[in-house]
Amino acid sequence: MIKSYWQNYINGSYVDGGAGRMVVDNPADGSQLAEVALANARDVDAAVAAARAAHEQGYLRKLRPVERGRIVRKMGDYLLEHKERFADILTLESGKPYWEAVIEIEGSARYFEYYGNQAETVEGKSIPLGDAYFDFTTYEPLGISAQIIPWNYPVEMTARGVAAALATGNACVVKSPEQDPLALSLLGEAAEAAGLPKGQLNILCGTGIEAGAALAGHPDIDQIVFTGSVGTGIAVAKAAASHVTPAVLELGGKSAAIVMPDADIDNLVESVRWGIFFNAGQVCSAMSRLILHKDIHDETVEKITALADSLSVGPGTERREFGANMGAMVSEVQRDRAENMVAEAAQQGATIATGGHKLNRPGWFLEPTIVTDVTPDMTIAREEVFGPVLSVLKCDDVESGISIANDSEYGLVGGIFTQDVDKANKAAQQIRAGQVFINEWFAGGVETPFGGFGKSGYGREKGREALWNYVQTKNIAYRLR
């Protein structure tokens, strides 16, 4: 049992929302899980004002960075100490298996550890101007970082942005996603346990159209980080541009793995398992297209079909241990959309090798799905499904594989599976994406920069690169004589 009503966290207090309440449902059976306070534009104003006051008061930004880093790391420690509680709630509201929720909470803690450790590495430089001057640069926090969070990894996406923002001395206003805002709101507890002053981190839930838009277009924020769909990303970027507010956008993907005949197919199958069935495929950087060399096409399809069929699909609360299983999708809308896209692919001539249907039970479940005979012109090869649906295409050689992979308006990640270093290098250089995986999908970590080419967005999150999203350079020049 979880509490039935969850409030917003503004200026260190838990408060109701000006827009009333909204129901959060349980994707595993469609029942009502809890209600959440819905913020309106006035609540957004209050949160931004609280963040501004905290920033002006300056406790965090004036600290020696090592101390600031320790506070940020303590937030991660709090998550680990309360891992089971966070994961229980996240499982209930998102539909993911419990063991995946645990991975998300551990991943969130890792962001606080990583960016806490980075706090004292943000250093300026001295620029020689001859002996009449002494010139140096410093990095100042931007001020108020607004973070609009998607529903697929609500806690982890918040941790990713907030950890870097706080480590560099900013104050934050977080707009949580409507579908699963509950576990994320517990980060307010982590902030208090770590000793953040009130107003330094504010968390509110509200609709995108009201609270999200009010935050993105707020004249008093200094930066915005958005993760979500392309259409919403464009709206956020336009709203930010009206106040010349810098934005980081992490949008969708239609990422492809290319497989050559010399690849280790069992290893590839393992990557397919994580690449498209982890979080029921609701991952921006999912392996949503698989481009198989014609010589190993049939054998590989047989193996990945067997993999999809081996996954037991059901309530996340019953899936406690890591294993061959998958949970519900986040909402009926998302599930039905994915199911319809598979049906449309079949109408356009693709073959459904396995899956494609919702489960005959309450809750938002979709079978793990493999669609073969997909050609690059089909909708399913071009548009993001954001579900457990893998599109399989065929290529003749590495060149044609790369050109199919690049035939997309997105460019988030990509990959190649081969033992041939020359082919791997060629693909690494020619795939248009912010991150290329060779022989393991999702190879990398919190330390490696992540972000897209093309309509997948701009700016980079994760790694040290993301620190520069949260600071601005100031050059100081002394005339000595």
Binding site for ligand ADP (CB under 6 A): 148-150, 175, 177-178, 208-209, 212-213, 216, 228-229, 232, 235-236
Q: Which CB, 276 or 304, lies closer to ligand ADP?
A: 276
Q: Which CB, 401 or 457, lies closer to ligand ADP?
A: 457
CA 40, CA 264: separation in Å to the nearest integer?
53
Least distance CB 218 / ligand ADP (angstroms): 11
CA 330, CA 387: separation in Å to the nearest integer?
10
Q: Which of 104, 178, 250, 367 is catalytic?
A: 250
* Mode of pairing for the β-strands spanning 413-417 and 201-205: unpaired
CA 330, CA 315: separation in Å to the nearest integer?
12
146-178 core/surface letters (b: 16 or more CB in 10 A; e: else): bbbbbbbbbbbbbbbbbbbbbbbbbbbbbbbbb
Least distance CB 324 / ligand ADP (angstroms): 27
Q: Which CB, 144 or 216, lies closer to ligand ADP?
A: 216
Q: Which of 172, 205, 284, 395 is catalytic?
A: 284
Q: Which CB, 229 or 379, lies closer to ligand ADP?
A: 229
Would you state the structure tokens that stand for residue 333, as one six-digit string?
Answer: 């809308």
Q: Which CB, 229 or 430, lies closer to ligand ADP?
A: 229
Q: Which CB, 229 or 406, lies closer to ligand ADP?
A: 229
Least distance CB 366 / ligand ADP (angstroms): 15
Q: Annotated catalytic, 250? A: yes
Least distance CB 450 / ligand ADP (angstroms): 17
Residue located via tokens 């993999």: 307
Least distance CB 209 / ligand ADP (angstroms): 5
Least distance CB 148 / ligand ADP (angstroms): 5
From 355, 360, 361, 331, select the one nearest 343 (Cα to Cα).
Answer: 355
C-alpha dihedral sign at 226, 228, 234, 238 = negative
Least distance CB 157 / ligand ADP (angstroms): 10
Q: Which CB, 225 or 404, lies closer to ligand ADP?
A: 225
First-to-last alpha carbon distance for the chain, in angstroms, is: 71
CA 446, CA 409: separation in Å to the nearest integer?
26
Residues classed as catalytic: 250, 284
